[in-house]
Structure 1
Amino acid sequence: MSFTLATWNINSVRLREPIVLQLLREEAPDVLCLQECKSPVELIPTAGFADLGYPHMVARGQKGYNGVAILSKIPLEDAGSLDLAQLGHARHVAARLPNGVTIHNHYVPAGGDVPDRAQNEKFGQKLDYLTELRDIFAAQKPQRSILVGDLNIAPREDDVWDHKKLLKIVSHTPIEVAHLNEVMSAGHWVDVTRQDIPDGLLYSWWSYRAKDWDAADKGRRLDHVWATSDISAAAHSSRVLREARGWEKPSDHAPVFASFDL
């Protein structure tokens, strides 16, 4: 079974339904994982997706915040969700493909602006979310699994526009990177994107605050595609669809793609 998967923080699936439809028409991934849907599940505009050949969806939602969804051409089985750090947020959903591969879609908390849990509760919640995820993977090693989403951390020096300037900025601090690496090690995950694109600057997010995001190019790679080590060799053709950041009424994130032959 061969399929292409994309992950995209859409920053409101209802507000940005037109560009979701544009992506489905122009790029036609078999599976599209969305984060920050900002919608109850029953209000996600599924009719337009189904018309384009995506009749299957597994999702968790809440009004106005968070929310994750997996849209698919391929039949999906709901494989549950986690409430990490007991936040009561819709930040994770899992779906199983007919070949037994489980896709985990995560929206990790952004963590606020101050990288100190004593001063900033949101930063502590982010670290706790990652710690619980690490412990889950350590207790029960995942197999034949793919993990995607807006993990809100750019782990490598070449995942940000200026490593030294961002060392004290939330999303690239050493403590966040260490927590993310522990999650990866505990589950024997492989960073598929960097497996395919091992060298060079690579971003998936550019701030709305930049007057000309493309020219300034002060990006970060916050969106990830991982696979467990038993299937990571089947992954290929990773890419970031940078141009989507410039579409009409865009998200501040661009979609990240990978293909799998399983």
Structure 2
Amino acid sequence: MFTIATWNINSVRLREGLVARLLQEEAPDILCLQECKSPVEKIPLEAFRALGYNWIVARGQKGYNGVATLSRLPIEDAGDRDYAKLGHARHVAARLENGVTIHNMYVPAGGDIPDRELNPKFGQKLDFVSEMRDVFHADRPERAIMVGDFNIAPREDDVWSHKQLLKIVSHTPIEVDHLLSAQDAGKWVDITRKDIPEGQLYSWWSYRARDWDAADKGRRLDHIWASPDIANAGHSSRILRPVRGWEKPSDHVPVLATFDL
């Protein structure tokens, strides 16, 4: 049995203390971080190793993007893919000794305008997710878990107002269609929603809100998916909303699930 957490940390060096606090208080066996904004060699690994996280598989770049998987369990590097040929550090895979592969994914945010002609970043996002679909269709995932900041809230109850966000990047119909097509291609199971099928769920609240907690205008952008052969082993999903209230927080909070594998 192991617990996995995913968290867009929005700078691992700036928020090293928050990562350490999470590792101490929640003690997930595996923590997948996104938007590390650091070359791998500058990630504060010694601080995490001191807490028992002796294995890391990561891809980084200076100031942007970056994904890192920290583990108390032995893991090996299982490669990466440059989705949409962006040259970004947005994916890394790690393999556990039991053969389960964990994909740590950071999908592009896509800018502010949901139009690929007016906003190339939106086109890059759609291309990224389209390639995810094609990869999963060509090579159906088995014994796999994919987590990360997908930057898309697919369900109506994954946002504070479905009607008001239909034209807002992260919840537009075209983005949702692309993500659901990628999910279907791999027959991925959304573990969070398997465990918590009803009700509003958010993992991100904007920095722009004066009082994020009172306004509560959130979106569920962070996900834990599992391939169908192991999905039934996933349970005990949680989203750690209080972490958004920690000092100098990320705008995302950790999402966790436990697997009996």
TM-score range, shorter chain: over 0.9
State the shift of 1:3 in Å. 0.1
Separation (CA, whole Å) in 1 of partners of 2:186 and 2:76 = 22
**Pairs within 5 Å for 1:81-100:** 81-100=80-99
Tell me how many residue pairs correspond in the alignment: 261
Q: In structure 2, what residue type is equivalent to 1:241?
A: L
Aligned partner of 1:123 in structure 2 is 122
Separation (CA, whole Å) in 2 of partners of 1:257 and 1:135 = 27
2:106 aligned with 1:107, yes or no? yes
Stretches of structure 1 lacking an aligned partner (at least 5 in a row): none
Aligned partner of 2:243 in structure 1 is 244
Q: In structure 1, what residue type is equivalent to 2:55?
A: H
Aligned partner of 2:180 in structure 1 is 181
State the shift of 1:23 in Å. 0.1
State the shift of 1:30 in Å. 0.1
State the shift of 1:126 in Å. 0.1
Deviation per residue, 1:101-147 (Å, 9 max, x gap): 00000000000000000110000000000011100110110100000
Separation (CA, whole Å) in 1 of partners of 2:203 and 2:216 = 11
Aligned partner of 1:13 in structure 2 is 12
Separation (CA, whole Å) in 2 of partners of 1:77 and 1:20 = 22
Separation (CA, whole Å) in 2 of partners of 1:226 and 1:132 = 17
State the shift of 1:98 in Å. 0.5
State the shift of 1:151 in Å. 0.1
Q: SS at 2:3's partner residue?
A: strand
Q: In structure 2, what residue type is equivalent to 1:36?
A: E
State the shift of 1:12 in Å. 0.1
Q: SS at 1:131's partner residue?
A: helix
Q: In structure 2, what residue type is equivalent to 1:105?
A: N
Deviation per residue, 1:182-203 (Å, 9 max, x gap): 0000001000000000000000
**Pairs within 5 Å for 1:1-262:** 2-262=1-261
Separation (CA, whole Å) in 1 of partners of 2:234 and 2:137 = 23
Deviation per residue, 1:7-57 (Å, 9 max, x gap): 000000000000000000000000000000000000000011000000100
Deviation per residue, 1:137-193 (Å, 9 max, x gap): 101101000000000000000000000000000000000000000000000100000
State the shift of 1:255 in Å. 0.2
Q: In structure 2, what residue type is equivalent to 1:146?
A: I
Stretches of structure 2 lacking an aligned partner (at least 5 in a row): none
Q: In structure 2, what residue type is equivalent to 1:150?
A: D
Q: SS at 1:8's partner residue?
A: strand
Q: SS at 1:163's partner residue?
A: coil
Runs of 4+ more than 6 Å apart: none
Q: SS at 2:164's partner residue?
A: helix
Q: SS at 1:198's partner residue?
A: coil
**Identity among equivalent pairs (%):** 74
Q: SS at 1:161's partner residue?
A: coil
Q: In structure 2, what residue type is equivalent to 1:119?
A: L
Q: In structure 1, what residue type is equivalent to 2:13?
A: R
- Report the RMSD for the aligned CA atoms in angstroms: 0.3
Query: TM-score when scaled to structure 1?
Result: 0.99
Query: TM-score when scaled to structure 2?
Result: 1.00
Q: SS at 1:164's partner residue?
A: coil
State the shift of 1:72 in Å. 0.2
Q: In structure 2, what residue type is equivalent to 1:9?
A: N
